[in-house]
Amino acid sequence: MNIFSFSPFGYEGSLVTVEVDLRRGIPAVDVVGLADGAVKESRERMRSAIRNSGFEFPLERVLISLSPADLKKEGAGFDLALALAVLDAQKKEDESYRQKTENDSILIMGELELSGQLRGVRGVHAAAATAVEAGICYCIVPMENEEEAKDVSGMKVYPAENLVQSFMALQHKEWFTEKQEISSANIQEQVLFPDFSPEQEFSLVKGQEKLIRGLQIAAAGTHNLLAFGPPGCGKTLSIQKFPALLPLLTEQEAQSVTRIHSIAGLTVSKKSIGKQGDFRMPHQTASIEGICGGGTNCRPGELSLAHNGVLFLDEAAEFKTSVLQMLRVPLETGSITLSRAGRSTVYPARFQLLMATNPCPCGNYGNPTKICLCSMRSIELYWKKFCGPLLDRIDIRIEVQAVPENLNTAKQPLSTQELRVQIATATKIQRRRGKKNAFLSQQEIGEICVLDEKARNFLENQSKKNEFSQRAVAGCKKIARTIADMKGKEKIEIEDLMEAVDFRKTPKPLEIFSAGG
């Protein structure tokens, strides 16, 4: 029996071979292989769990080797693997047992209680995926981790409640089951949406048609968005409804999301398969480490947890300048590299950035009904925190006006279900292309976002008028492509481009403070 466990580090982690040698000598347990305190303490947990489960602990000197020897092993996830390796070494003299388990390779993870019961551990999805790549197709995990292990294609899983069940499973491969294939094709073709709560109903938002339209386009093409306006005008309220507009992820997209959640120790349930990307809303006091990730094991931060989802920075100007500046590279590359103690890992971080902020420190700049008490210098410093290169990566900019209390509009706002119709149309088209519009490269923009002569002349004139950068011009083309996709059209028409430019240009109140288009 070849027993493997897993040492999580960053996004990748490494398989660890667990070997046991029983030899003559004073009864003791030695663990070699650069084990940390939690792994060394598992000797005592393992001894008690084996005895309390009705097995005999060997009255010999037990040597447990964890290889590769130069890789640091951390955490309590090795408990079950160590205990089963000891019991396996004891039973090797049993001919019938040896015939059932000879040449088998199996992944084992789980934390043991002294009674022999099992507790869930983090990193099981990453461990199962790594094991399948190495040709290992069986694993024993705690009941709590069953779903994330079964989420890996090709892995046969036995969810155990205690040590006795785990040991019996070593001799009964028919007990192991694979995941049932779900209708990923339906998610791919039909563009399914999750259920939404009454609080996520957009028809309740009055007088903010442009903001809602911007959020609809952002959801359809995964474009970054900035909304600014006076306090209480509905920026945060509207953006918090945004998850209701996001389609369920495809199976391929959900795999990386589930792996990151597993590494972070977040609960992975049945609903995580064919799930929606996360909507992350960190506090303004968040540090760079909290946003990027880090720690001794390079745990994921908010950027990676928002992979294939949304990162929403409310009151964005209140975040540290260093945090805002750090967003630029992940927005461009879709990944983030963390380095700790001579090792590095690369986390995927293909997220959608939404930001909401006030136009000035007091919030009244540009408001015709109120007086702004801020000096021009303070307003300039307020907006300089964003910097031109970061704002240049924001495709959709919306100035949100305060809505009068006595507003009486005859036009009924679109409901969430109505907004989803065009988003589904655009999403289906982009999935057939194989890439979301916001992430198109320059070459792909030239191939997909084709403009006729009239549209090219219009964009060129607007580019000069608004001093667009090359990235801003590309952003206009991508937004126009999304608007055309929402209508199911093959070609971008002039009205699509006009709406795109309207969303991309900098609103007048901020022209003197923002840069980069």
pTM of structure: 0.90
DSSP conformational letter for 362: S
Q: Are 57 and 50 spatial neighbours (Cβ–Cβ below 8 Å)?
A: yes
The whole-number pLDDT of residue 273 equals 45
Beta bridge partners of 6: 15
- Left (φ > 0), alpha (ψ -120 to 50) or beta: where does 26 sit? beta
The whole-number pLDDT of residue 95 equals 79
Q: How far apart are CA 65 and CA 42, in angstroms?
A: 13
- Sole residue written with tokens 């049932």: 180
Write the CB contacts of 512 (distance below 8 Å, at least 6 apart in sequence).
Answer: none
Beta bridge partners of 294: 299
Q: How far apart are CA 483 and CA 502, in angstroms?
A: 12
Which amino acid makes up residue 233? C
The whole-number pLDDT of residue 143 equals 94
The whole-number pLDDT of residue 508 equals 55
Q: How far apart are CA 227 and CA 235, in angstroms?
A: 6
Write the CB contacts of 413 (distance below 8 Å, at least 6 apart in sequence).
Answer: 202, 203, 204, 205, 206, 208, 209, 212
First and final C-alpha spacing in the chain: 63
Residue 2: both structure tokens together = 């070849």
The counts of H helices and E strands in the chain are: 21, 18
- Helix (H) or strand (E) holding 46, with range, is helix 37-52
The whole-number pLDDT of residue 185 equals 47
- Sole residue written with tokens 């030899």: 23
Q: How far apart are CA 384 and CA 241, in angstroms?
A: 29
Q: Are 173 and 186 spatial neighbours (Cβ–Cβ below 8 Å)?
A: no
Mean pLDDT in runs of 10 for the chain (517 residues)? 92 94 92 90 93 94 94 90 95 81 90 96 94 96 92 93 96 88 52 88 91 97 95 92 94 90 75 72 94 88 96 94 93 92 88 94 84 88 86 93 71 90 95 94 94 94 92 96 96 95 76 47
The whole-number pLDDT of residue 272 equals 47
